[in-house]
Each structure stands twice: as structure tokens, then as C-alpha cells.
Amino acid sequence: MPVLNERAYLEHAVRSVLQQDVDGPTELVLALGPSTDGTTELAVRLAAAEPRLRIVHNPAADIPVGLNAAIRASIHPTVIRVDAHSELSPGYARRALETLARTGAANVGGVMRADGRTPFQAAVARAYNSPAGLGGGSYHGGTREGAAESAYLGVMRRAVLDEVGLFDESIRRGEDWELNLRIRQAGHRVWFDPQLAVTYWPRESWIRLARQFRATGAWRGELVRRYGRRNGVRFFAPPSLVLLLALAVVVAVLQLTGVFGGVLSIIASIVYLPLVAYAILVIAMALTPGKPADPPRSPRERVWTLAVLPTMHLSWGLGFLAGVLRGAHDTVDASRLGSRNTPLP
């Protein structure tokens, strides 16, 4: 578990891991970054009270560096990647190990089930769980078990990790997708099991969400530079939205200044149609009620949805274009560098 500034979430995440019921010994290795919110002190207290919990230090705070340090420090033949911003569902580890054995896969993952405790976080979670939000990847709500391109978090065979060389420490975001690409290229199988579920708590503020998605987009752009069309088509939707919006602004200026007039202006106005369709999609997301089993959506959550979806898509798209044009370089997820989290109930 890589950890940085997660005081509000760490104890719940650790508890969800240590309460997993599996046949055989287990351990939890925290890759602890240089936190500033009391996370380090909390992690030390938890480790002192739990013999299965160990700490390795990750002074660089990069996720793949921390993951590799934790994997190298671990002693068991199966590695379950977990996240301090997430909670494993009961029975997750047992089911994953059974699926790993049943399918012969090298890596098994399930559904990332986003949740929120404030109107803003609930709006973000709804976007995460919708195909309109994050592009409809299997782990955002898939229902059919089978071979997959990647896996959320992942339950992995240590021997395969050693074979392919662990995580690429030059990639700060999207490192899981890149690892799974190498696993598949080595002839192994990555598997999606919808019966596996992990609760994910999104970022708690608009600025942190924008920073997270800009960094994620930049690193996806870097992955496109490195691996080209091995990246799925869905990754090109947000940058296309950004380019379309920029083109619409140019057309509007030319129309207002009289450069475009008459038939030419009418033809140029076609550029607005996809943006109108996108606006309708965002409004529909805000107005549509949730699933019958979901709690009622508050007016504040609906209003936040109008801001959340464009923020996610435009921030990601801007980051993507920058990553493609000049590379991600030292881009970091600045949303992880500070924390004002309210403890979970």
C-alpha cells in the first residue's frame, strides 16, 4: 500500500485489509512517503499494534517506487496491491485468490466502486461510476468476467512480477496499465472479475480533483508517446473535447468580428453541435436519479455534477495534450501533496 498524506483514510484502509479472511499467512507492507498531515505518526502507531503490518520508506513519494520497495520487502508468492484511499470489500482477497487459481491468470482485478461522504465527493463518485465520466473501462462498472486490458489495483503472482521487472519507476501515473501491458506481452493473462469490489474515495475538493486529472492526463499522453495505439481509443476523447472547444472559441471570434459571414458562418457553426450534445449529456447526468438502491441525490450534489464532469474531462484533456506534445517529465499529482481531509466516520 503506497501512502502519502492519507491520515483520514489510512486506518480504515488498513482495517479492511487486515480483516480479509484467507487460508495462510498474510502481511501488509506500507510504502510510506514523507507526509505532512500526521499520516507517518498514525502508520507507526498502527504498525506497533499489529505484527502483520510493516513499513518501508518511500522518500521520493512516487507510487511505482513505493510499490516496488514494498513488493521487494514482501515475502509471500501473491501480491495484492491496495490503496490508502480505498477499502476492500469483505471476502475480496479470498475471492481473488480463488479466481487467480481458477483462471491461471497472472493478475486479477475487479470493480472500483467510488463513493462519497460530501455532496462534492458524491458527485465525483457518480462520475467515476458512469461510462460518461471515465470512459467505460471494465473496472468502472463492468459485469462480464473475462480477459482484460488492465486491472484496478490487482492481485498478482510474484513470480510474474519478477519476470517482467516490477513497476516501471519512470512512470508516475498509469503505471498499472503499463505493467499489465508488459504482463500480456510476456504471454500471461490479465483477468477481470466483477465479483471483486473495492470502495474508492475520490478527491474532496475541486482544485484537488483538477490537479489529479491534469497529472493523470499528462502521464497518459506520455504513455501514448511511448506506446502509441496500444492505448485504447477512449483515452483520446477528453483531448478531442479540448480541441473542439478551442476551435469553437476561434469560430465564435471570427463570427463576432465579421470574418465569417453568410453561408460560411452557417457551415462553421457545425462545430457547436458536439459541444451542445456534451452540455446536454452533463445536464442529463446532473438531473438523472441514481440507481434504486442508491441514496437520494441532494440538490448540491446535482449542482456539483455540472462542474465535476467538465473539470475531469478538460483537466485530463489539457494534461494529455501537454504530455503528448512535450512529455510528462516530472509531472506529479499535486493533489496528493497536501491534505485537509476530514476523518471518516
Q: What is the 3-state secondary structure (H, E, C) of 57-120?
A: ECCCCCHHHHHHHHHHHCCCCEEECCCCCEEECCCHHHHHHHHHHHHCCCEEEEEEEECCCCHH
Q: Which residues contact 250 (CB under 8 A, 6 or more apart)?
A: none
pLDDT greater than 90 at residue 212:
yes
Q: Find the distance separating the first CA and the last CA of the chain, reported in whole Å.
A: 22
Burial class (CB in 10 A: 0-12, 13-18, 19+), 208: buried
Specify the pLDDT at position 227: 92
Residues 240-273 have pLDDT tens digits of 999 999 999 999 999 999 999 899 999 999 999 9
Contact 61, 33 (CB under 8 A): yes
Q: pLDDT by residue (tens digit) across 327-344?
A: 998 888 877 775 444 444
The closest alpha carbon to 175, from 65, 331, 316, 79, belongs to 65
* Cell of residue 92, nine digits: 475480496
Q: Does residue 154 register a pLDDT over 50? A: yes
Predicted local distance difference test score (pLDDT) of residue 344: 44
Dist. CA 325–CA 149, nearest whole Å: 25
Tens digit of pLDDT for each residue in 68-120? 999 999 999 999 999 998 999 999 999 999 999 999 999 999 999 999 989 99
Q: Across the chain, how many H-helices and E-strands are there?
A: 13, 9
Q: Say if CB 174 and CB 219 are below 8 A apart.
A: yes
Mean pLDDT of 9-30: 94
Residues 310 and 100: their CA atoms lie apart, in Å, by 38
- Radius of gyration of the chain from Cα atoms? 21
pLDDT tens column, 109-125: 999 999 998 999 999 99
Asked if residue 10 has pLDDT above 50, the reply is: yes
Q: What is the pLDDT of residues 29-69, one digit of tens each?
A: 999 999 999 999 999 999 999 999 999 999 988 999 999 99
**Has residue 286 got a pLDDT over 60?**
yes
Domains, the chain, with CATH or none: 2-202 (3.90.550.10), 227-336 (no CATH)
pLDDT (average), residues 134-150: 77
> Each residue of 217-239: pLDDT tens digit?
999 999 999 998 788 888 999 99
For residues 274-292, average pLDDT: 89
Strands 107-114 vs 155-157: parallel, antiparallel or unpaired:
antiparallel
pLDDT at residue 345 tops 60: no
Q: What pLDDT is recorded for position 343?
A: 45
> Quick one: which of 239, 240, 201 has its CA closest to 217?
239
